[in-house]
Structure 1
C-alpha cells in the first residue's frame, strides 16, 4: 500500500496555539538546546525521512530547542540493490537495536515491532511508563481498547512499556446493492466465519466471466491461500513451523480442516480461485481496460460481494466513487462495514490489527525527560486531532476516529474487535533469522493447488509439504548463510 504523507503545514498551524501556550509555562531550562536520540529496528532509510514526516516534524516545530537525532539500525544494502558477499550474513536490525540500547551513548526513544516488545521487556531494556502516566495524569482512557490490549500483551507484570499513536485495523466490507439484488440480508457485527461463508454462498451467482463471488479474504483477487489461511486460522493458534523454524507442523487434523474449508469454498465458487499467472487467458479478466479500469479489483469491478479490507484500502473505493463520471461503465459502489468474523472458540479475536509507531523509553536513556515529553506529545489529543483525517491509518484515540463527512461508514467495525495477543504468527522472528524461509511456503502453494485440482487428497498434500519442507529447512540449518539461489531442489516424497 502506498504511504501517504500528510501535509505538515496544516497540522503545524493547528497545533501552534496549544504548543506555544505550553512553552510559556515551562521553566527557563526548557529553552536550552538538547538532543533526543531515536532509534528503530524498522527500515526508514539512513536519514529516517518517512519516520520524521510521520512522527517527529510537528514535535520539532513545537519544540525548536530539541533536536531529533535519528539512529538507523537496518542494513540498507539490500534496499539499495547491493548484495551480500559470499558467506556474509546480514545483521538482524533488532539485534543491533538491542546492542545500541545497552551500549555507550544509547538512544532515548526506541521504536519497534509489537512482536519484539516482549523480548525488550524481558531483558529489562524498557522503562515502565506507569509512574510517568500517573504523575502527569496523562489520560489513556480514550485510547482504543484493542490498542491498549496489544501494548499490554508484552508485559508479564501488568505494566505499560510503550504507546502507539496509530494503528491499522480491518473489517468485513460488503456491497449493499449486491445483497439487495440477491434478496439476502446484510452481514452484521460479531458473525462467525461459518455464518459469513453461509451468507457468501447465498449471494454468489452467475457463471464464467459474469460470476459474482460471495466472499474473498482480499479485495483484488490475490487469493493466496497462505495469507488467507493465516487470517482464518491465526486466531485458532495453528502454527506452520516449530519454535526454531526447523520443522513444519502442517501434517495435522487441524490444518487438514482449515484446508478443507478453504478448498471447498473455492470448489463451490464462493471465493475466487488461485490466480494462474502462467495462463494468459485466465488473467485477461483482471487486465484493466477503458471499459473496465478497475478490472484488477474484484470489489470495485462488481465481482465480489464481501471482502476483508484494511481501513486504508477504503480510500481507493471513495476516490473511484468520487470520480465515477470519469470512468466508462463504472457505477459507484455503495458499501459499509461490519466487524471481521471470528471463531466461536475465540469470539471477537482477529489477526488483522497492527499497531504503528510502537515506542518506548530506553531504560538507559540519557534524556528520559524529553523522551517522555515526545511520547506524551505524539500520543496526546493535539497530535491525534491533527492526524485524525489520515485516510490510511487510524489514530489510537477514539475521539478522533470519525467517518468522512457525508459518510455513514460503521467505524466501530474497525474498533470493536480483540487483537490476537498470543500471536501464533511465529514467522516474524524466524524470518529475521532465516530470510529465505519463504521458499518453504512456495512448496505449500504447489501442494495446495494439487489438492484443489484433486491430484492428491488434502492430507496427502499436507504430508508431502511437510516432508519436502523439512528437507529444505534442514538445508537452511546446515547452511545458515545460504542465499535464495543456493537452496537445493527438494525431492518428491516417496
Structure 2
C-alpha cells in the first residue's frame, strides 16, 4: 500500500471513529421505535444505481445509523446494477437504463424496499404516481423540527409534491457568482449583488472588461475554465434557467424560431463578439505552461466574474494559501453573490440540485423503521457531523452551513435561490430512445457560429436551424434509431439496437 493510500485510509478510519464516538451519544437520543432493543429488523434502501461494492454509500449514509440502532440491519438495493456492464464484450449494444421503471420494480413485488433514494426527476414522477408516503403527518406527529432547513431546499422539495413533503434531503449542491473585488475597485464599478438579473451582470461585465490580447480581462464567464465555448456555455446556466426548449414535448416540431430565442442569441453573441465573455482561445498563452492557476480564468485574474460551485471555495483558498509557491500569482480578493436570475424568474437559479432525496415507499413493509431512518439522516446531529466532512455539498440545515477555512464571504449566496423544476423522466427516456435528438441540439452550434462570424443575424440563423431541425425530426419519426452527421446528413448505425 502506498504512503498516500495509507494516509487516506488512516484519515477515513479516523473520521469513522470520530463519528462513532459522537454517535454513542446520539444512539441514546434517537428516541424512536427503531432505537428500541428487540428483534432484528431489516431495512431495505433502494438506490438508483449501484453494485456489490456499496461501501461509499454505507459510509456516507448508513453506518452511523446501524451503530445507533444495533437491532437494524440495512440492505442496499440498487434499481440498476452497474456490474452488468463490466461483462459486455462489445458484441451487445449498450442500452440506457430506465431508472424510473427500474426503481418502480424494486418498490413493488413480494419484497419491496422501504426507503427510496433518488434524484428529483425520478422523485417527482414517483410522487405523481402515488408511490411515496407523505411525510408531513409524520413530521407533525413526532414534532420533527424542519424550521432550520434552508428555505429554498424545503420549498424546492414541497414544489415537487404540490405543497406537500414526500422527501427530505440532508445535503444539496449549488453554484454562485464569484467576483474579483480588485477588478471592480480598479474600474470604479459597484460589485454585483444578490439576485442580480442577467442583464445587470452583463452590463457590469462591460464596465469592468479591459485590455487587449493576452492581457485582456473579460467581464464575465459562464465557467472558470480556459477553452470556453459560448454556445454550450449558455445552454447550461442561461437557457436552462429560462427553460427554453429546442423542440416540443413530442419531438415533432422545432421551437427555436421564436422571439425569446432570438433575444438570447442576440445577447450572448454580442457579448462574445465584443470580447466581454471569453471564447475557446481566451486566456491562452502558448509560452506559458499549464498549471492549476494558469488554466483557471478566475484565479489567473483574466475574468472579473464567473459562476462556480461551492467547493470552488476550497480551490481559491488553497491557491491563496500557497501564493508564495506559485509563479506570477497574486492572491485573489473575492466574494460571492447569487447566480444571476432572469427577471421573469427572480427567485430561481443557481443550479441548486438535490443529489439524494430520501423518501418512504408507500408499500414499505417497515414504514416505522423507514421513518426513523429518514428522520435520523436529516436530523440535527447528522448535519453537525457532515458539515465538517462534506466538501462537495452543503448540509440542508442552515445552522451548520459555515464559511470554510475561517474565511468571511457571503455564504448565503449558495442557498438563497430555489432550484429549477426537475427534468421530466419521460423526456429523458425519449432522448435515450431517440439518440438523434442530441444531434439536433449539437448542430445548433453551427448556426450560432455563423452568427459569431457575422454571416447571419440571430433571426436568420435560428430560422434555418428550425427548418433543418424539422427535417431531422421527421427522419427520427420515420426511424427512431436515426442519427446524424455533423452536417445533418441522416444515417442509421449498422448496429441498429444501439441506444445512448
Shared fold (TM-score, shorter chain, > 0.5): yes
1:34 corresponds in structure 2 to 41
Q: Which residue of 2 aligns with 1:340?
A: 339
Cα drift, residue 451 of structure 1: 1.2
Q: What CA distance in whole angstroms lies between the structure 2 residues aligned with 1:345 and 1:441?
A: 25
Distance 1:90 1:348 in 2: 34
Kindly state the Cα deviation for residue 487 of structure 1 after the two structures are TM-superposed: 6.5
Q: In the alignment, which residue of structure 2 is the partner of 1:72?
A: 78
Q: Is 1:154 aligned to residue 160 of structure 2?
A: yes
Q: Could you tell me which of 103, 128, 150 is aligned with 1:97?
A: 103
The answer to whether the 8 Å contact 2:340/2:350 transfers is no
Query: In angstroms, what is the RMSD of aligned CA positions?
Result: 3.0
Instruction: Tell me the alpha carbon deviations over residues 148-174 of structure 1, each in whole angstroms, 9 at most, x when there is no partner.
Output: 111111223x32111111111211110
Match of 1:350 in 2: 349
Number of corresponding residues: 478
**Cα separation, partners in 2 of 1:257 and 1:140, compared to 1, 3 Å:** same
Paired residues of 2:44 and 2:113 also in contact (CA < 8 A): yes
Q: Does 1:302 align with 2:301?
A: yes
Q: TM-score, normalised by structure 2?
A: 0.87
Q: Alignment partner of 2:46: what SS?
A: strand
Which residue is equivalent to 2:452? Answer: 452
Equivalent residue for 1:279?
none
1:257 aligns with 2:263: yes
- Do the aligned partners of residues 368 and 227 (structure 1) sit closer, same or farther apart at CA in structure 2, a change above 3 Å counting? farther
Residue 201 of structure 2, aligned match among 174, 196, 201? 196
Query: Alpha-carbon deviation of 1:184?
Result: 1.8
Tell me whether 1:111 sits opposite 2:117 in the alignment. yes
Match of 2:130 among 102, 124, 127: 124
Q: How does 1:53-452 map to 2 (within 5 A)?
A: 53-74=59-80, 76=82, 80=86, 82=88, 89-156=95-162, 158-221=163-226, 222-273=228-279, 275=280, 284-285=284-285, 289=289, 293-350=292-349, 352-389=351-388, 390-421=390-421, 428-435=428-435, 437-452=437-452
User: 1:350·1:418 contact (CA, 8 Å) conserved in 2?
Assistant: yes
- Bigger Cα displacement from structure 2, 136-145 vs 398-407: 398-407
1:315 CA drift (Å) = 1.4
Distance in 2 (alpha carbons) for counterparts of 1:287 and 1:104:
66
1:22 is matched with: 29
1:61 is displaced (CA, Å) by 2.6
Q: Does the 8 Å CA contact 2:20/2:64 hold for their aligned counterparts?
A: no
Give 1:18 deviation, angstroms: 2.6
Contact 2:23–2:64, Cα closer than 8 Å, also in 1: no
Deviations 1:109-140 (A, max 9, x none): 11111122221112111011111111111011
Q: Distance in 2 between matches of 1:442 and 1:246?
A: 17
Q: CA deviation at 1:449?
A: 1.1
Correspondence list, 1:37-52, <5 A = 37-41=44-48, 43-52=49-58
Q: Secondary structure, in 3 states, of the residue corresponding to 1:22?
A: coil
Closer, same or farther in 2 for the Cα pair 1:428/1:323, shift >3 Å? farther
Structure 2, unmatched stretches of 5+, are 1-7, 491-500
Give how far 1:67 is off: 2.0
CA spacing shift, 1:100–1:432, aligned 2, 3 Å = farther
- CA deviation after TM superposition for structure 1 residue 22, in Å: 3.2
TM-score, length of structure 1 as denominator length: 0.88
